[in-house]
Amino acid sequence: MDNISDVMDILLKRYRKHRQPTIRRTSKENSPFKVLITCLLSLRTQDKNTEIASDNLFQHVKKSEDIIKMPVKKLEKLIYSSGHYKKKARTIKHVTREIISRFNNKVPSNKEDLLSIKGIGPKTANIVLSFAYGKMVLPIDTHCHHIPNRLGWVKTKTPEQTEKELEKILPKKYWKEFNTTIILFGKSICLPISPKCSICPVFRYCKKIGVTISR
């Protein structure tokens, strides 16, 4: 585990100037609601499609009530590029109603309340807490789960388990940038299948757990 800081310092330096994922860029707009909805759009889709769907939607949505008033067919059309658009439209409608009716039209700033809303899972909740509210939490997506396992930092089977284990071993100074940095690394080099080990900047630190084919 002694190499965690070495790996993070190398990756932070490498990806600091890269274009950030859509949700991270959205967080700079100081709108927890927009961060939440953009995160829901990002589930099970590529970031380029999330960006298109988010841009389309927020050209028509200036406040949460606009989503409630919007016909579901129009909402589906606006977010079509995100994939699973029918299910996502229903989820976005439901989540928005819950925020308006149960939380006085304010996105909750604690995990328990966020998870009490059907359609919001642990990853989405942590993204809202971290990106929108600056809380010290670790949003764990598929990259943030498989890469620490591949490196040999943790031995876990689910993102929830990975979150708990990383909380114990990852220095807090890296928490804020961990999600974005690892996602960029996972999409460019440390791919889930056939990672690009020959050009990996942290190759010497990696135990390559589960890697059978690499480039």
Q: What is the mean pLDDT of residues 203-211?
A: 93
Q: Which residues contact 166 (CB under 8 A, 6 or more apart)?
A: 138, 140, 148, 153, 154, 178
Establish if 183 belongs to a structural domain. yes
Residues 177 and 106 in one domain: no
Establish if 119 belongs to a structural domain. yes
Range of the domain at 186: 4-19+138-205
- Is the pLDDT confidence value at 1 over 70? no
State the Cα–Cα distance between residues 53 and 1, nearest whole angstrom. 40
Q: Which strand (E) or helix (H) includes residue 148?
A: helix 142-151
Residues 50 and 125 in one domain: yes
Q: Are 151 and 205 in contact (CB under 8 A)?
A: yes
Residues 13 and 78 in one domain: no
90-145 pLDDT, tens digit each: 999 999 999 999 999 999 999 999 999 999 999 999 999 999 999 999 999 999 99
The predicted structure's pLDDT at residue 171: 96
179-196 pLDDT, tens digit each: 999 999 999 999 999 999
Hey, what amino acid is at 176? Answer: K
The predicted structure's pLDDT at residue 28: 85
Establish if 174 belongs to a structural domain. yes
Structural domain ending residue among the three candidates 98, 132, 166: 132
CATH number at residue 144: 1.10.1670.10
Chain mean position to CA 95: 18
Residues 47 and 118 in one domain: yes
What secondary structure does DSSP assign to 185-198, as a single string? HHHHTS-SSS--GG
> How much is the pTM?
0.89
If one counts the domains in the chain, the total is 2
The predicted structure's pLDDT at residue 30: 86
- Is the pLDDT confidence value at 213 over 90? no
State the Cα–Cα distance between residues 9 and 106, nearest whole angstrom. 36
Establish if 25 belongs to a structural domain. no
CATH number at residue 62: 1.10.340.30
Tokens 């509210």 appear where?
A: 133
12-53 pLDDT, tens digit each: 999 988 888 898 899 888 899 999 999 999 998 999 999 999
Residue in 6, 5, 17, 4 with CA at minimum distance from that of residue 180: 17
